[in-house]
Structure 1
Amino acid sequence: MSVIPLAFINRGEKAKIQEINGGDTFSKKMIEMGFNKGTEIEIVNNDRGPLIVAVGESRIALGRGMAQRIMVQAS
């Protein structure tokens, strides 16, 4: 499977985080929110506006620009 930006994963699909592209501040923020390498996530909503992502029991809204920097492998 190939590695693609999180923004391209469809609603209801699961993916595994492979890497976070961005500066130290952005990477630290994502890690603090639970977006660690190897973590499995599920897309709750990817229609218009921000993406809603399930990370464990949490639901997190991410802007499109942020979602472009998080590289995942679709499950």
Structure 2
Amino acid sequence: MPAMPLIFVNRGEKARVEQINGGDTFSKKMMEMGFYKGMEIEIISNDNGPLIIGLDGSRIALGRGMAQRIMVQAS
């Protein structure tokens, strides 16, 4: 299955980060938040507002525009 933007993963599903698209500033910000290539994440909420992501025991809110730039592989 090809990689897809994070916003297309449904609530309750897990995915693996494949790629972070964007400039150096965006990539650095994502790494500071804990997003790394190859890590497993879980979608806690993917409704109308920001996505809530389960990440290493923490929950992080991501705007839909940011989530569009993170490519994942569904697990």
Which ranges in structure 1 are unaligned for 5 or more consecutive residues?
none
Residue 48 of structure 1: CA displacement?
A: 1.3
Q: TM-score, normalised by structure 1?
A: 0.98
Runs (5+) with no aligned partner, structure 2: none
The count of residues paired between Structure 1 and Structure 2 equals 75
Rounded Cα–Cα distance in structure 2 between residues aligned with 1:4 and 1:35: 16
Q: Please provide the CA RMSD for this pair.
A: 0.5
Q: How does 1:4-15 map to 2 (within 5 A)?
A: 4-15=4-15
Question: Matched residue of 1:7: which SS?
Answer: helix
Q: Please state how far the C-alpha of 1:2 moved relative to its aligned partner.
A: 1.1
> Equivalents in 2 of 1:25, 1:51: separation in Å?
21
Question: TM-score scaled to structure 2, two decimals?
Answer: 0.98
Kindly report structure 1 stretches of 4+ aligned residues shifted beyond 6 Å: none
